[in-house]
Chain A
Amino acid sequence: MRNINELENVFGQADDDFVDNVHHTLAYLQKSRNRKPVRIGYYRIAAVIAIICVLSAGTALALSNTWGILDFLSGRRLDVEVLPEASKIVQTDVPQEGTQTDVAAFTVREAVYDGQSVYIVLDVKPSSPDYLLLGPDVYPSDQTASMGPIFNGGTGTIADYAQENHKEMLQTSVGISGANCSIDYLLEEDGTLVYMIEGRYEGDSAAPDVELRCVAVPFVIENGKYTRDMDSKKDTTLSATLKNTGTQESVISTEPAVFDDCGVRVDKITLKSSAMSTYAEVEFTVIDEEKYAETDGILFEFLDSYGERIPSGAASGGGIVTIDDTHYIEKISLQATEKLPSEVILRGYSYLDKDRYETHTFEMK
């Protein structure tokens, strides 16, 4: 007979990477006091692999070394559509400084900044053909397919591949200082690791300087196991000057609405449009704590006139921002649209239970 008190045995011990991450974050906080640490979000690698496998168009692009922002969005993301005008706001000549480390050069290839989100494609070019660059969540024991389309159909681990080809493995990471980022990456045939980075970065500046923290850490064998040699870590801060193309249009809801089922009042909805995405903000207030608690955290989704959920946009979701104990803002990226609507339909739902709650229509001006 099993005893429920054995549940502790389900977890094992925190792995080395988790422990390293906590120590690294604490060290950063101690060093920089109140500055926000560089935080990196990742697309789930397994999902990325799944996408890689079915996208032959993406593979063709990879082989010709021409992955740009729009290629990443169309070739590596599901159902993401941008407006045709998006191609006109892509910066291909990005002023930048501080790009080199001993082991790799970090260069911004393309950028888009629409005043709401930053989208950057960045090359990490190894300084020696003997270096094999890996993404931030890839390890030598992973399958080669996790490095990108050029390894499609290949079998065996990255460590095996590196050994057979006499290459030294380095883990790399790139993040935008002060922004929560989502990252995708792939290895090109010449050994360049290409990153697509996207993050919310709101500001009014016409030409903001964005800091990118770039890190490369070699793997070494210790006690028969691959581990990152943090003493040999190389990093650089790359400063890139972006052009703020701004949002085109903005509308705000005219009246609040009470979502009685879930104990909240939606105070305001704001929509801003750009060629990349429609950026939505839903500001809400908890008016019945018990009902709100029952929802396990309400989320909102936008519906079209047929009651279908409007697809996500190119930007990652901004999550929930807490204003205070009862006030929150949910930031949502919706598919880009030529013209913002004069009314929107909003439905509440519970993330955990998938319960759908009531729907309200808001007039937008």
Chain B
Amino acid sequence: MTSDEFAERIVAMMQTLYRVSYTQLSQSCDRDEAVQECLYKAWEKRQQLKDERYMQTWIIRILINECHNIQRKRERELPMEELPERAAPTGADYELHDALFGLEESQRLPLVLYYVEGYSVGEIAKILHWPQGTVKSRMRRGRKELKKTLCGEDSLSCET
């Protein structure tokens, strides 16, 4: 893969990179740092990608790792209670935003990968290195919590 092809494919993934990093990191500077490190690592290890069809999944896996690294670093620097609340971005559905970010990350991340990024349960299991049963149970718990938050059990329709 040439550097131009690499860049072209990364630019095509821009919104996905943004959403995945946003799902895990509340601070824009942390998201920038995670994406920068992810791109460097992906570029450095691009020869390890045996089938370019899976590039997007591979990049997301690296990005999620980098986001976790930053979370761990931040946890050591300052107590989690110091984290400022995450404000919904301009144009976002505020109600759904707050409900989604009220979930634990272990529920939020698979929901975003499934309903927003369009991955299957099997693909999410590979991306997150979780057993498929864990992915399903965490998505189920996440959906249930979302329903509770969004004004009543029957307020959220889930087509799965």
B-binding residues in A (CB < 8 A): 1-15, 17-19, 21-23, 25-26, 29-30, 33-34, 36-37, 39-47, 50, 77-78, 136-137, 180, 182, 289-290, 292-294, 296-297, 299, 312, 316-317, 319-320, 322, 332-333, 351-353
Contacts and interface: CB of A to CB of B under 8 A. Distances in A.
| Most chain B C-beta atoms within 10 Å of own C-beta, residue among A4, A42, A47 | A4
Contact of B78 (A26, A44, A180, A293): A44
Contacts of B146: 4
Contact of A44 (B7, B43, B74, B156): B74
A10 B35 contact: no
A2 B73 contact: no
B73 A294 contact: no
Given A316-B73, A333-B76, A22 B17 contact: yes
A297 B65 CA distance: 9
A11 B26 CA distance: 12
Nearest to A12: B89
Sorted nearest first, the 7 A-B pairs with minimum C-beta distance are A14-B18, A12-B89, A319-B69, A46-B84, A317-B76, A9-B93, A137-B29
Given A8-B115, A18-B31, A25-B40, 11 more contacts: A3-B159, A12-B88, A13-B18, A34-B44, A37-B36, A37-B40, A40-B29, A77-B77, A180-B37, A292-B129, A319-B72
Interface string B82-123: 111000111111001100100011100001100110000000
Nearest to A78: B78
A299 B79 CA distance: 16
A11 B22 contact: yes
Contacts of B36: 21, 25, 37, 39
Contact of B3 (A30, A294, A352): A30
A17 B32 contact: yes
Interface in B2-18: 3-4, 6-7, 10-11, 14-15, 17-18
A6 B112 CA distance: 11
A132 B87 CA distance: 27
A5 B115 contact: yes
B89 A293 contact: no
A298 to B, nearest CB: 11
B33 A41 contact: yes
Contacts of A39: 33, 36-37, 40
A44 B96 contact: no
Given A50-B82, A317-B72, A43 B77 contact: yes
